[in-house]
Amino acid sequence: MIFVHLLNDRSGSPRVLSSIIEAMADPELDLLFVAHGHGVLESCDIEKVHYRYRRYENRWRTLFSYIASQVMLFLMLWKWTRSRPATEKIYVNTALPFGAALFGRVTGRPVIYHLHEVSVTPRFLQIVLWGVVRLTATEMRFVSHYHQKATGLSCATSRVIYNCISQDLESAAHEWCPTRRESVFSVTMLSTLRDYKGIPEFIELARTFVDSEEIQFKLVANDDSESVAAYISKYTTLPKKLGGTPADGGSCTDIPGGESCGEFFSARRMD
């Protein structure tokens, strides 16, 4: 099997793929095609083939880089699969690596799409990506029934596979905190700053418990400091109990305006 992913960071979708590779991949036979990055997929025990992709502050440059990366991915797959079985499956993680899906379609290989997105911006890109999914997928996997319904995508073989917590993360949690030791219960959310991830609902939940001194909410963002500041600027006030914890060498950004709400932390490395 050939696994394909784009953004190799420490967010949810590469972690899910990492767990899948750990559970079902054959290190001697299978391949992982992934863009350069220092994320969780680097630790996977499988041969990796890297292709170029870079994000820019200018969204048009980023779009051009993305399209170029998919052309490169298509050509690299063509080169690397010359001596591999013609019936080998292509496992496309997220809708973004459409070059791999088109390669599977052209060469007659089965394409498994493991989708994580509810929507993609800009809108025309979502239309293109959803079109490629419908054209190429022999199997679609969704993270929830709501997710499947929200995307409006389906094929003859569609299934829901709920995201799980990796054994390493579960073991680390038990090692560091086998029982509740502190008087304050911390609710922590790790996420990219996108509304569809549930950030507004998390903030509203923090507001609901604003009078409870035993519960503290923490939001760790997989975005740089500038993105954090831009996102939270739309909130005139934030709950006092919504604070942050630095993670993965991230930087800290003051929450502007409103109530005294401490600090908000970014979990993305600046490099």
Better-predicted residue by pLDDT, 24 or 70: 70
Collapsing DSSP to helix, strand or coil, 129 comes out as helix
Name the CATH architecture for the domain at 2-160: 3-Layer(aba) Sandwich (3.40)
Among 68-82, 177-191, 208-222, the least confident range = 177-191
Averaged pLDDT, 48-52: 94
In the chain, where the domains are located: 2-160, 180-266
- Residue 233, token pair as written in the block: 């600027």
Collapsing DSSP states into helix, strand and coil, what is residue 169? helix
Q: Cβ distance 223 to 185 under 8 Å?
A: no
pLDDT at position 171, please? 75
Predicted local confidence at residue 246, as pLDDT: 38
pLDDT tens, position by position, 90-113: 999 999 999 999 999 999 999 999
Count of Cβ atoms closer than 10 Å to residue 87 Cβ: 9
pLDDT of residue 245: 41
pLDDT tens profile 136-188: 999 999 999 989 999 999 998 999 998 877 777 777 777 766 555 567 787 88
Give the C-alpha distances (Å, rounded to integers) separating 50 from 76, 112, 191, 201. Answer: 9, 20, 25, 37
Q: Quick one: 23 exposed, middle or buried, by C-beta within 10 A (0-12, 13-18, 19+)?
A: exposed
